[in-house]
Structure 1
Amino acid sequence: MSARGGGGVGVGSSEVMAWLIPGVAVLNIIVFGVLWLGGTLGFAVTGNGWHPPPFSGGVYRRLLTGEVAAVWPGISPSVVYTTAVLLLAVAVSLIVLIVLKVAGRVSAKSSGLAGRREMAGLMPEQAAARARDLRPSLKGVRELAPDDIGNLLGDLDPDGPELRSSFEDVELDLMAPRAGKSTGIAIPRLLRARGAVLLTSNKSDVFTVTRQERAKVGRVWTFDPQGIAHSPREMWWDMLAGCDTIEGSRRLAGHFVSSVNDDSAKKDFWISAAQNTLTALFLAACRGGRSVSDLLAWLADPADRTPIDILRDVGMAPMAEQLQGTVRGAVETRDGIYETARQCAACLLDPEIVAWVSPDPLLPEFIPSQHVIGRDTLYLLSKDGGGSAAGVIAGLADMTLRAGVVAAERMGGRLDPPMTAVLDEAANVCRISDLPDLYSHLGSRGINVVTLLQSYRQGARVWGDAGMDALWSAATIKLLGAGLDDADFVDKVSRLVGQRDVKTPSWSSSRDGRSRSVSYRQEPILPPDKIRALPKGTAILLATGIRPALIRLRPWYKEPNSAVISKAAKEEVDGITRRAAAAWTGDTAR
């Protein structure tokens, strides 16, 4: 036993010596090379010219013993050794940077997530080629500005290039509150937009940061019926203008119904009947040239035959008969239908809201068909919860999007420049019931829609499970950020990201020596706990036809021009504060 043990020690010592001898030799060569090159550079820098000595053992011995003058006459030893140290520091720094870069790429590749090669289609070079195909106005431009080639998504983690989606992509972003939806997505998207812009929100943060910048490129329309930004009313929109057809009336009625119905996929008798009634009344008001006030009067008095007579006079007899059938039905049924309709349109009882959707000869009218072909900006601000103007907001957003589709058809298929629609808080203030069905169609028309939700479940509560699945499938770009706490959804995402092979080495010893073997096992690329714990400012990118990747968002306040934007945002906040104080003082006085 002892003999075998001693033999083992001997074998180990010989193995160490086999590596030690060449290691010492290489170390001496490196030290000599640094001293030789450092001394030569120092000699040249001091004005003596380039005179490298022989690369020999004798020179190396003199440099180690300090006999520098024998190698380079007239030079101080401190110059040689200082130059050598500086040269060594530079070399080490370069080596460390190279090692870190290579290690980062190897780590990204071994992580199972997409790297540069897989993301080539979203990188600037290919994105520029795609932009020229989608936008005829760019074909004669030699060098494209970065924002002309696509929408900025972020930078590929850990050190990759910036990634941009195309102008026909539509996007769905799921992130918890304060995870970077506004600072990293909504605000940059508005600041970088090349065409018309539409924003919906229940807060003033995006408005305050972007308003002055957007005013530099076009007119700013602020639709703020509930005083989110305390903006004075400087516009009006004819809410009934798009109700001249049954389709337009039904869509507007659907927006009011969706604002009070948590799941548009599940409509009971009262909700469906209320939508039919509102459709008829909207159609009658539009065709009869009546106002929103007349509409409210008809809702308050089911016995009023005016809308029925109007529909008959304009040749809409079937719709008139249907409305008359509702009015002549059982009193309990009729009153239930009308009461449900009143609840759906309750926000119109607020005169402040009605003023924004009624003609005003002293103010300019917002016309969606003109907005979508320019570079103007429309801010749609509304509170969520009871009494909100969500139905009105959704109606105006929907009409603007449909106007964009019509304009795109007239341009040959796509808007150029593309329109940007950021539907922030889409589940609260902009419940467009058929948004999942519109998604892919809007992208093909050059309308870049970005829907921002706090969770997958929030969307399912509005559009139903089937509707949210359709929205998820139709979105060609999906960003999943920090704070996703839905266990089922996070587990689903983990499965979508996939698994990777993990190599596990093992060692075994025998009489013949040591041997190494490798086994493989599979594990999730991103386990659910890592998805839930994503750092703020990062997101999982799911792009159609590309492996999942991890990206770092680009917040607006980290961009080069952030100081100017911050100053403008502070001015906007100060203005909101003053207007809010004035409004509060006026209310108190009354």
Structure 2
Amino acid sequence: MSGPRTGGGYHEQLPWAIVALAGTGLTLFTVVWSGGTLGSGLTGNGFHAPPFAMSTVARLTTDGPAALWPTAPAAAVYAGMLALLALLAAPAALAVRFLVERASRPKGLAGRRELAAMCPKGIEARARELRPSLKGREQLRPDETGNLLGDLDPKGPELRSSYEDVELDLMAPRAGKSTGIAVPRVLRAQGAVLLTSNKSDVYAVTRAAREQAGTVWTFDPQGIAHSPRAMWWDLLGECHTIEGARRLAGHFVASVNDDTAKKDFWISAAQNTLTALFLAAARGKAPVVELLGWLADPADRTPIDLLREAKLVAMAEQLQGTVRGAVETRDGIYETARQTVSCLLDPEILAWVTPDPELPEFLPHQHVLGTDTLYLLSKDGGGSAAGVIAGLADATMRAGVVAAERMGGRLDPPLTAVLDEAANVCRISDLPDLYSHFGSRGINVVTLLQSYRQGARVWGEVGMDALWSAATVKLLGAGLDDADFVQKISTLVGQHDVRTPSVSRSKDGTSRSYSYRQEAVLPPDKIRALPKGTALLLATGVRPALIRLRPWYKEPGAAAISAAAKAETAAITQRAAGRLPGVTLGKR
């Protein structure tokens, strides 16, 4: 008696091979017999079928179809055979294709049924609940119902997130973040748009289209798109309260501090000092350049006096205590504070946050109520304007919260905020805490990061875990190389049962048995090797699913968008070379 072994031998497969061969022959003969008779009948030569027997096969092989259908033209007989073969082959091919695709699809992932709430009918019903302006309308455009995520792999349908979802996307560089997520989200936005970036690619592709929707505001203090200064924003406009001043100070501190969860004494003290100075400047209506002078000279009592005049005695006493402290400590605090706002020493950057009576002022509370677009562009690394960018982005999104509260709880149409390169140019320190709150207010935030670890460097492990948990939709794309993170994702996706056959032979015959083992639905190596343009979708309350992103250049109307993008890119190049004069801000 031999032990069990997997697979079957030649003798075990032979009966099945004979059956398959006989079945194939019978099918072909049936097609020839029926098709020849059909061709004869349709050409007016009668539906006279030859006997359905082996003798007919022999006559057909030796004498051809003329011996079976003598009155019918050979061409008609052959045409009938081919037509019937095609008629039967088409559905058979579709069935085989369906079975092959189903067999190749990773088991354990969500399908159309589990994702019904994100499919067209489900997402439309949810949109009607969330947006009062859609009630009573029979037909809705797809972009009015939700944010396009992509198509369920392999054959759809398209999936959308609702207007109360907030999203976190992790993808390596050149994995499709811009073409498959940022650009489509800006182009399809129904309300106001906010975009942060350290490159001009999304700006170049979407600017022309967004100009048709409303005013385009471009905040480009470091010349990413070499856009002429055609606006200004009051940096101290949100600093009339202690909360607003502290938030702005936090943005500048976060722009130079990689992990806000690990603030040392100097960072915390510098944030407190900046809070007092911002508050004094806002209450005293002092310009930003004067505030920089206070930082340069700690002995200047002007901010202390302004705080006292504003009845902010406790804040004035705290600032005075810092100034009167040990010289070494005071100088260390002020030097740290100077480093955090050093970008304002650049007159090119300072001009964008200084009142200019000849240019329009950007007002966040008005922006969120329309269909305008705000591009926030900044370099990353040393000397970047990331603190200013984070301050303006935060002011705009908080203005959206205030507007939503006045509208009954939710913005309609929603505000779309695409925080591309958020870890580099838009470090809002408490973004993880605000994330779920934004979703409930109709503010669709999409944070784009290159990896989980990149976010942890900015918000700390605890903060990044909070951001991950608060995001109701997560897309994980190609090129995730963090082994620990990918292993965690594989665990989240889960396991499924795999049936393994085994064959045992003995003198009494052959027996087959099956055993089951657990196997990861998506092992870490497969998650890391996700093809470019695909992403793993993790949505709250639904099993993970694999989707295909929809790049803007493959969508209808891409030719016109591409032409406008080329023109804008050429204009950026010419402006960079100083050959094209700047244009003023376009209005509707």
TM-score range, shorter chain: over 0.9
Are residues 1:353 and 2:367 paired?
A: no
Are residues 1:81 and 2:78 paired?
A: yes
Deviations 1:322-345 (A, max 9, x none): 111111111111111111110010
Choose 493-502 or 184-193, whichever is displaced more. Answer: 493-502
User: How much does 1:315 deviate?
Assistant: 1.2
Correspondent of 2:206 among 193, 205, 210: 210
- RMSD value over aligned CA atoms? 2.5
Q: 5 Å matches for 1:469-484?
A: 469-484=465-480
Question: Quick one: distance in 1 between partners of 2:527 and 2:12?
Answer: 49
Q: 5 Å matches for 1:491-502?
A: 491-502=487-498
User: How much does 1:392 deviate?
Assistant: 0.2
**Conserved 8 A contact 1:68-1:75:** no
The equivalent residue for 2:294 is 298
TM-score by length of 1: 0.92
The equivalent residue for 2:306 is 310
**Conserved 8 A contact 1:420-1:449:** yes
Correspondent of 1:398 among 384, 394, 398: 394
Choose 157-166 or 444-453, whichever is displaced more. Answer: 157-166
In structure 1, what residue type is equivalent to 2:85?
L
The equivalent residue for 1:340 is 336
User: How much does 1:33 deviate?
Assistant: 3.3
Question: Quick one: distance in 2 between partners of 1:25 and 1:582?
Answer: 79
Correspondent of 2:255 among 259, 268, 271: 259
Question: Quick one: distance in 2 between partners of 1:540 and 1:342?
Answer: 43
Tell me: CA distance 1:23–1:467, structure 2 relative to 1, closer, same or farther (3 Å). Answer: closer
- Structure 1, unmatched stretches of 5+, are 2-11
Matched residue SS, 1:501: strand
Question: Quick one: distance in 2 between partners of 1:77 and 1:65?
Answer: 15
User: How much does 1:156 deviate?
Assistant: 1.3
The higher-RCO structure (CA 8 Å, 6+ apart) is 2
Question: Quick one: distance in 2 between partners of 1:541 and 1:495?
Answer: 14
**Conserved 8 A contact 2:45-2:71:** no
In structure 1, what residue type is equivalent to 2:190?
R
Tell me: CA distance 1:316–1:35, structure 2 relative to 1, closer, same or farther (3 Å). Answer: same
Matched residue SS, 1:363: coil
Choose 30-39 or 512-521, whichever is displaced more. Answer: 30-39
The equivalent residue for 2:32 is 35
Q: 5 Å matches for 1:357-368?
A: 357-368=353-364
Identity %: 71
Correspondent of 1:237 among 233, 236, 239: 233
Q: 5 Å matches for 1:93-492?
A: 93-108=90-105, 111-492=107-488
In structure 2, what residue type is equivalent to 1:39?
G
In structure 2, what residue type is equivalent to 1:281?
L
Question: Quick one: distance in 2 between partners of 1:169 and 1:17?
Answer: 57
Question: Quick one: distance in 2 between partners of 1:279 and 1:528?
Answer: 46
Tell me: CA distance 1:558–1:17, structure 2 relative to 1, closer, same or farther (3 Å). Answer: closer
In structure 2, what residue type is equivalent to 1:323?
L
Deviations 1:224-245 (A, max 9, x none): 0000000011111111111110
In structure 1, what residue type is equivalent to 2:132?
P
Question: Quick one: distance in 1 between partners of 2:13 and 2:170?
Answer: 57
User: How much does 1:377 deviate?
Assistant: 0.7
Tell me: CA distance 1:262–1:65, structure 2 relative to 1, closer, same or farther (3 Å). Answer: same
User: How much does 1:100 deviate?
Assistant: 1.6
User: How much does 1:427 deviate?
Assistant: 0.5
Question: Quick one: distance in 2 between partners of 1:69 and 1:167?
Answer: 69
Matched residue SS, 2:175: coil
Tell me: CA distance 1:581–1:81, structure 2 relative to 1, closer, same or farther (3 Å). Answer: same
**Conserved 8 A contact 2:192-2:372:** yes
The equivalent residue for 2:7 is none
Are residues 1:540 and 2:536 paired?
A: yes
In structure 2, what residue type is equivalent to 1:259?
S
Question: Quick one: distance in 2 between partners of 1:52 and 1:437?
Answer: 81
Deviations 1:532-581 (A, max 9, x none): 11111111111111111111111111112111111111001100010001
Question: Quick one: distance in 2 between partners of 1:315 and 1:18?
Answer: 94
Tell me: CA distance 1:407–1:17, structure 2 relative to 1, closer, same or farther (3 Å). Answer: closer
Tell me: CA distance 1:524–1:241, structure 2 relative to 1, closer, same or farther (3 Å). Answer: same
Tell me: CA distance 1:24–1:356, structure 2 relative to 1, closer, same or farther (3 Å). Answer: closer
The equivalent residue for 2:586 is none
Deviations 1:485-513 (A, max 9, x none): 11111111111111121111000111221
In structure 2, what residue type is equivalent to 1:438?
L
TM-score by length of 2: 0.92
Tell me: CA distance 1:77–1:336, structure 2 relative to 1, closer, same or farther (3 Å). Answer: same
User: How much does 1:319 deviate?
Assistant: 0.9
- Structure 2, unmatched stretches of 5+, are 2-9, 583-588
Question: Quick one: distance in 1 between partners of 2:409 and 2:322?
Answer: 42
**Conserved 8 A contact 1:53-1:59:** no
User: How much does 1:28 deviate?
Assistant: 4.9
Question: Quick one: distance in 1 between partners of 2:285 and 2:45?
Answer: 95
Deviations 1:109-143 (A, max 9, x none): x6221122222221111111111111111121112
Are residues 1:570 and 2:566 paired?
A: yes
Matched residue SS, 1:387: coil
Tell me: CA distance 1:52–1:406, structure 2 relative to 1, closer, same or farther (3 Å). Answer: farther
Question: Quick one: distance in 1 between partners of 2:48 and 2:573?
Answer: 73
Question: Quick one: distance in 2 between partners of 1:295 and 1:147?
Answer: 45
Tell me: CA distance 1:52–1:400, structure 2 relative to 1, closer, same or farther (3 Å). Answer: farther
Question: Quick one: distance in 1 between partners of 2:345 and 2:107?
Answer: 57
Question: Quick one: distance in 1 between partners of 2:523 and 2:12?
Answer: 45
The equivalent residue for 1:8 is none
Tell me: CA distance 1:145–1:248, structure 2 relative to 1, closer, same or farther (3 Å). Answer: same
**Conserved 8 A contact 2:499-2:515:** yes
Question: Quick one: distance in 1 between partners of 2:21 and 2:267?
Answer: 85
**Conserved 8 A contact 1:152-1:164:** yes
Question: Quick one: distance in 2 between partners of 1:83 and 1:462?
Answer: 71
Matched residue SS, 1:539: strand
Matched residue SS, 2:262: coil
Tell me: CA distance 1:305–1:19, structure 2 relative to 1, closer, same or farther (3 Å). Answer: closer
In structure 2, what residue type is equivalent to 1:289?
K
Correspondent of 1:503 among 499, 510, 513: 499
Question: Quick one: distance in 2 between partners of 1:55 and 1:322?
Answer: 108
Question: Quick one: distance in 1 between partners of 2:16 and 2:570?
Answer: 75
Question: Quick one: distance in 2 between partners of 1:18 and 1:279?
Answer: 82
**Conserved 8 A contact 2:254-2:427:** yes
Matched residue SS, 1:303: coil
